[in-house]
Amino acid sequence: MEPQLSHRVVDSVATVVVRHPAKRNAMTAAMWRALPPLLDGLARDPGVRALVLTGEGATFCAGADISTLQDTPQEAQALAVAAEEALAAFPKPTLAAVRGHCVGGGAQLAAACDLRLAEEGALFGVTPAKLGIVYPASSTRRLVSLVGPATAKYLLFSGELIDAERALRTGLVDEVLPEGELDKRISELTRVLVSRSQLTQAAAKEFANGRTDRDAHWAEQAAGSGDTAEGVAAFLERRRPRFTWSVS
């Protein structure tokens, strides 16, 4: 099978799958380039309300496929950063479903998601020190925001892998599931997310990501959306709300 990113949309959830089984789902240059336009299309799709990123089979992503990166290290890194930033900017909730190795560029992608759920046995590593690469400032700040400066320095200085339990303790992942339970939990959680107000989610994501100067914009969006009135009515009537505001 040729290395590729595939995707499907089921019940308002887009699932993007990293497929490169010959190299533990390492990202080729073509795959890095393909991710931003793929995400852009899914962001504009009103039928998509949440996104799951995962790897084919028993591995999430083992990083970059060095053999396909014929550009200079700086250019190759720029591809990864562009893909990471596109994922971080995706305006709807994103989840990384992690099995096996989540290393290097794979860890970059997972960190760019809003939530990370891992199966027991998953391994995480940030490995630029093994290659003499300067980790990007934006990626470093994102890692620090998740795990704090001490753990970020440990991961970056050593390049060592940590297990899922340590990743959970440090904040790198949000939940660790027993073997065989990850897909079920992802399905449960995404079902909850797509039922909630996309207006609330989009504003909260923007604020949490550091954009704090748009209160007036979101107040205007809320006033014209009808979501607040629907949420209050649904609560009083003891029914599920039918939110209509959409990012797209």
- Is residue 55 located within the same domain as residue 164? yes
Residue 83 lies in a domain: yes
Same domain, 231 and 110: no
Same domain? 83 vs 19: yes
Say if residues 29 and 69 touch (Cβ distance below 8 Å). yes
Domain with 43, as residue range(s), is 4-192
**CATH number reported for the structural domain that contains residue 153 in this entry:** 3.90.226.10
What does the pLDDT average to over 230-241?
93
Q: Report whether pLDDT(212) > 90.
A: no
DSSP 14-82: EEEEEE-GGGTTPBPHHHHHHHHHHHHHHHH-TT--EEEEEESTT-SB--B-GGG--S-HHHHHHHHHH
Mark whether 59 and 139 lie in a shared domain.
yes
What average pLDDT does range 9-36 have in this prediction? 95
State the pLDDT at residue 69: 59
In the chain, pLDDT over 70 holds for what percent of residues? 97
pLDDT at site 68: 63
Boundary (domain end) residue, out of 157, 175, 192 = 192
Same domain assignment for residues 11 and 34: yes
Query: Could you give the percent of the chain with pLDDT greater than 90?
Result: 84
pLDDT tens track for 148-201: 999 999 999 999 999 999 999 999 999 999 999 999 999 999 999 999 999 999
Q: Are residues 93 and 202 in the same domain?
A: no
| d(C-alpha 3, C-alpha 25), whole Å | 8
Does a structural domain hold residue 246? no
Q: What is the average pLDDT value for the chain, to the nearest integer?
A: 93
- Indicate whether 221 and 153 sit together in one domain: no
Same domain, yes or no: 91 and 180? yes
| Domain count for the chain | 2
In a domain, 247, yes or no: no
Residues 67 and 86 in one domain: yes
Model confidence pLDDT, tens digit, residues 44-72: 999 999 999 999 999 999 988 877 655 56
For residue 33 the two structure tokens come to 């380039």
| CA angle, 127 then 174 then 227, to 5° | 125
Residue 16 pLDDT greater than 90, yes or no: yes
The single residue listed with the structure tokens 């860890």 is 107
pLDDT reported for residue 118: 98
What does the pLDDT read at residue 66? 73
Q: Which of 194, 192, 173 is nearest to 9 (CA)?
A: 194
Whether residue 145 is contained in a domain is answered as yes
Q: Collapse the DSSP code of 202 into the 3-class scheme (helix H, G, I; strand E, B; otherwise coil) and give the result.
A: helix
**Bigger pLDDT: 168 vs 244:** 168
The pLDDT tens digits of the residues spanning 202-211 come to 999 999 998 8
27 and 150: one domain? yes
pLDDT of residue 70: 57
- pLDDT score at 211: 86
245 within domain boundaries: no
The predicted structure's pLDDT at residue 76: 75
Q: Are both 165 and 231 inside the same structural domain?
A: no
pLDDT of residue 236: 93
Which of 172, 192, 212 delimits the end of a domain? 192
**Around Cβ 99, how many Cβ atoms within 10 Å?**
23
What single letter denotes the amino acid at residue 34? A
Same domain? For 51 and 104 the reply is yes
Whether residue 57 lies inside any domain: the answer is yes
Q: Assign 77 a pLDDT band (cuts: 50, 70, 90).
A: confident
pLDDT value of position 71: 56
Range 94-104 average pLDDT: 97
**Is 70 exceeded by the pLDDT of residue 73?**
no
CA 22 vs. chain centroid, Å, equals 23
Three-state secondary-structure class, residue 179: coil
Whether 188 is in a domain gets the answer: yes
